[in-house]
Structures are given as C-alpha cells and as structure tokens.
Amino acid sequence: MATRHVVCPADELQPGDRKIIEAGGLSVGVFNIDNEYYALNNVCPHQLAPLCEGDLTGLVTSEEVDAEKYEYERPGEIITCPWHNWEFDVKTGESVFNPHLRTRTYDVEVETAEDLDDEMLEELAEGDEESIPPCQKYGASLAGDEPPIETYDVAVEDEMVVVYV
Amino acid sequence: MPVSEETTSRSDTDGTLSLVDCDVHPYYEPDELVEYLPEHYAEQQGYNVPTGMWTDPSGGFRDDAEPVGGGTPGSDPELLVEQALDGPGADYAMLNAGEVLALTVSPQAEYAHALARAYNEWFLDKWLDYDDRFIGSMIVAPQRPEKAANMIREFGDHPRIKQVLLGSATETPYGRPAYWPIYEACEEMGLPVAIHPGPEGMGMAPPNGGAGYSGTYFEKDSGVIDHYIGQITSMVAEGVFVEYPDLDFVLLEGGFTWVPTLLWRADKDWKSLRAEVPYLERPPSEYIIENCYFGTQPTPQPDDPSDLVDMMEMMEPEKTLLYCSDYPNWSSEALELPDLPEELESRIKADTAQELYDLPADPAELG
C-alpha cells in the first residue's frame, strides 16, 4: 500500500517547478504542470539515470514531412533524460518513442490539515520529526509544544503537496 | 529477334523461380549511344560523362566475358545470355547500366538528361526484347528531377522496365526533397529506385570517401559503403519513406554487412533525437527493413563463412537481400555465397526479387 510522503508546501512548487525527494527509499520527482501535480520515479528505464533531473520541454510533432508544419505541443510536459535525451511524458511516465517503455508514476495530492483522518494523523505523530509538515507542527488543528509565533495566510500555508509512494 | 529456348530451372514445374540475378550489365561502345542523342549533342558533345579519376587495374571485367572477335565484355547479347543466364540457370537477369551512370554527376544537367534518354532508347532497341528473361532498369538524370519524373512515366510502363537506376553519387544526398518528383513517379509506376556505384568522387559529386579522395582504386572500391550509408541515411532521415511509403529503394553493389550497424546506430540516435525528425512514425530501422533492399554483391569473405550468415541474420535477410552476380565484372561471385539455410537461400536467390519486381513464373508472360 502506498505510503504518504509530504513533499512541500504548495506555494513552494509553482507551475513549471519540480522537486526531487526521497520517499520510501526511492528518489521521486514531483512536478507542477499548470497546477496539476505529477510524480515520477527518478529513474530512467534505459540505464537508470536520474530522469527527473532532465530538461522539461515540449513535444515536437508533425503530420507532414515539412519543418514549417511542425507543431510544438504540450510545452513543459515532456522531460528528457539527462544522459541520452530520451523523452518521457511527465503525466504518464511513458517514453515518447515507445509507450511500452515507462518509468513508474505516483499519485500526488494537495492536501490540507482537514483532509487528514485520524489514522493518518497517528501515523504522522509516530513518524520522525522531519516528516511532519509545518502545518502539522504549527497549525491550529494540532496541539504542539510550541505555539504559533507568526500567523500567515492560512489558505496557502495549509496546502501541502503530498505524494503516495 | 533471337529468343533463347533454354528457359531453365524449377520455374517450369512448380511455378517458383530458382534464380533471379538482380545485377547484370549490358555494355555499349560509346558511339552506340551517341547515335541516339539529339543531333546537336551528338555533334558537339558526343559521349561525355565524368570519368577517369581512378583506373581499375584489373580492367574491370572477367576476361572470358570478352566477345569473340573483340569488343567490350557485356556488349554481345548472345554471349551475355550464355554466360549470365544459361550458364548459371537464371530465370531472369536485371540489366543495369554501367559507366553511363556517371551522368548523374555531370554538371551538364540538360545533356545528362538527353544522354539518359539516349541510353534508355538504345537499351530498349538492343537489349530489352532480346530474351524473355531480360528485365531492365531505365536511367534518369537526377539533376533535372521533373524531367526525370516525366521520363519515368514515359518509359516506365514497358512491361520489362522494372526499375529506375541512379548512380550512387550525386551532387546532394538523395533524400533531399528536390529529388522527390523522381520518387513520386517511381511509386506511381510501381518501380523501385536503385543506386549503383561508379561515379563517386567524380563530376559534381562530393569526395568519394567520407574522409576525402581515395589514393587508389583499391581504396575507392573498399570504401564505397561511405556513399551507401550516406544515401540511405539521407533517404530515411529526410522522410522519403514517410512521404512515399510504397517506394522501394534498392542498393546494388554496395555490399550489405554494414546494414546491421546502421540499423542499430540510427535507432539509437533516433531515440535521443526524435524531435528533430518528428515525421518519422517508426524507428529508422523499420523503414530500412521495409523499404530497402540490398544486392548480395560484393559478397564479403570472412575467414569463417558462418560469420557472414550471422551478419545476414541481423538484417532480416529473407526480406532484404537480392542475389546479384554483377556480370561481367571481375567481382562477379555467383558461387561466393556461403552455405545458407534452404529457405533463406531461396528467398535471396529468387523469391524476394520475384515479389519486388512482380515477376511471373513464365518470363514469356511479361509481354
């Protein structure tokens, strides 16, 4: 069963951004594409390169053998492997040239404290300190040892990007 | 006209062919072609194709192919029938132009076009109807693609014209869209387009070798695959087989053991550089396997002949290889193919060519 891992506050992962985190012993790249979130195993299926460190680009397509007719589609939705430039669809993990070749994808959610059920909170409480997000340590819904020392826009601060690996 | 009655082989009994020789050369004395040129060219140019940079010290031909009483080997139809058809028991011989192919690198484009027409008319008059087992390639001048296309439509409906032949060297690589009218006409007429060595490094051609001009004929001959790899890669990369999916491309006398290397290299590069050629719908190797054919000659001779069979197996040989003797050249090697599995030998020696050129079991049915 997938385990929940906090990535970062939502405002730290803006459209076009990515973060690479350790989660469940794996390296995982988490991407924000137009405020939709995607996560890929940071491993290229070709030779195990850190795929998610590659360049984000678009997909060049053409219905005709004519460079004037090329389309540049889905900018920012294709990642190229840093070792051999193989293209992968960030949304599906599939290789562009061979959809049977793919890297694993994971579910990403943007959650607020209210989304957490009791069981998840227990898990969080049992987890190590580092994995507990700021909104849990300092948010109003949990009693912490330290009181909030500043207040922020709750609607933003409360949103956390989490990945289920 | 004389027609040999010695039609041979299994074709009479079970409807299959046993041997189709895809590269046999009928030769001419230059004056023969001049007679077919327009008068002003005949008078002012004569026979004029780029040549002379290298001399083959072997003389180029099998000594026994010289006609009794002299003349250029391959110039006597009767002797050619005897040695290239009856002797080996061939069901068909594809007759391909020789030195005149150097017109593809002539800077005199209009003259080259006229000379191509002269060759084609001479070829039809002297050769193509001489024996039922003859099929042939017409030639065109790629310097004038639109005119070449018209010539393909003009000559290409002759029932024994089965191919359009070009020199393997030309001013720019054959994938360039400037040449596409030729491919459009070939596809329309159902004719494969073929290339054959000869004019590399001459006339308007780039240096014959990838590293520059060769110092000997030996060097030129051994390195001719530079041009073959260049031309086929150009055809694939420029999208010729996307634009003309039914076009067949036949690479004669360039050997074939380099093909697996190219299949692998092109696919490797395509995986990394696909975005540059987004119109390619499949890996480049698939276009090569599906649209391209390779003559068996010159057949490399590794110390262990089974190595050659191993290399064949890396390029889907049952689809891609065409038996060629290259008669009457010295590099003829009808007997140099290694021992092959029976079915593969049948594919290479006859079946693939029969399908490619749409050859009836009875040559007389070609009309």
Q: What percentage of chain B reaches a pLDDT higher than 90?
A: 83
Contact flag A87-B273 (C-beta cutoff 8 Å): no
Contacts of A65 in chain B (CB under 8 A): 177, 238-239, 242-243, 279
Residue reference for tokens 């490399």: B300
Average pLDDT (A54-58) is 97
Q: Answer with the residue of higher pLDDT: A123 or B244.
A: B244
Lowest average pLDDT, out of A114-118, B239-243, B251-255, goes to A114-118
Average pLDDT (B209-217) is 95
Contacts of A66 in chain B (CB under 8 A): 279
| The model's pTM | 0.87
B12 has a pLDDT exceeding 50: no
Contact flag A62-B279 (C-beta cutoff 8 Å): yes
Contact flag A59-B275 (C-beta cutoff 8 Å): yes
Mean pLDDT estimate for chain A: 84
Residue A79's DSSP bridge partners are: A56, A88
pLDDT band at B57 (very low <50, low <70, confident <90, very high): confident
Return the structure tokens found at A56: 């984000």
A53 has a pLDDT exceeding 90: yes
Give the model's pLDDT for residue B71.
85
DSSP letter for B158, please.
S
Write the residue in A64, A70, A86 that is nearest to B272 by C-beta.
Answer: A86
Q: What percentage of chain B reaches a pLDDT higher than 70?
A: 94
Q: Answer with the residue of higher pLDDT: A134 or B265.
A: B265
Count helices and strands in chain A by DSSP H and E runs: 3, 9
3-state secondary structure chain B: CCCCCCCCCCHHHHCCCCCEEEEECCCCCHHHHHCCCCHHHHHHCCCCCCCCCCCCCCCCECHHHCCCCCCCCCCCHHHHHHHHHHCCCCCEEEECCCHHHHHHHCCCHHHHHHHHHHHHHHHHHHHHCCCCCEEEEEECCCCCHHHHHHHHHHHCCCCCEEEEEEECCCCCCCCCHHHHHHHHHHHHHCCCEEEECCCCCCCCCCCCECCECCCCHHHHHHCCHHHHHHHHHHHHHCCHHHHCCCCCEEECCCCCCCHHHHHHHHHHHHHHHHHHCCCCCCCHHHHHHHHEEEECCCCCCCCCHHHHHHHHHCCCHHHHEECCCCECECCCCCCCCCCCCHHHHHHHHHHHHHHHCCCCCCHHHHC
The domain ranges of chain B are 11-357
Q: How far apart are CA A23 and CA B94, in angstroms?
A: 67
In angstroms, the separation between the Cα of residue A97 and the nearest Cα of chain B is: 7
Q: Which domains does chain A have, with CATH numbers?
A: 14-62+69-109 (2.102.10.10), 110-164 (no CATH)
Average pLDDT (A43-62) is 97
Contact flag A60-B243 (C-beta cutoff 8 Å): no
A136 has a pLDDT exceeding 60: no
Give the model's pLDDT for residue B7.
44
Give the model's pLDDT for residue B248.
98
Give the model's pLDDT for residue B5.
43
* ipTM, 2 dp: 0.82
Give the model's pLDDT for residue B59.
79
Amino acid letter at A2? A
Lowest average pLDDT, out of A110-119, B145-154, B334-343, goes to A110-119
Interface of A with B in 120-139 (CB under 8 A): none
Average pLDDT (A20-40) is 97
Give the model's pLDDT for residue B29.
84
Query: Which chain B residue shows the shortest CA-CA distance from A78?
Result: B275
Give the model's pLDDT for residue B331.
60
Topology of domain B11-357 in CATH is TIM Barrel (3.20.20)
DSSP letter for A94, please.
B
**Which of A60, A61, A97 to mutate to probe the B interface, most B CBs <10 Å?**
A97
Give the model's pLDDT for residue B216.
96
Give the model's pLDDT for residue B30.
83
pLDDT band at B142 (very low <50, low <70, confident <90, very high): very high
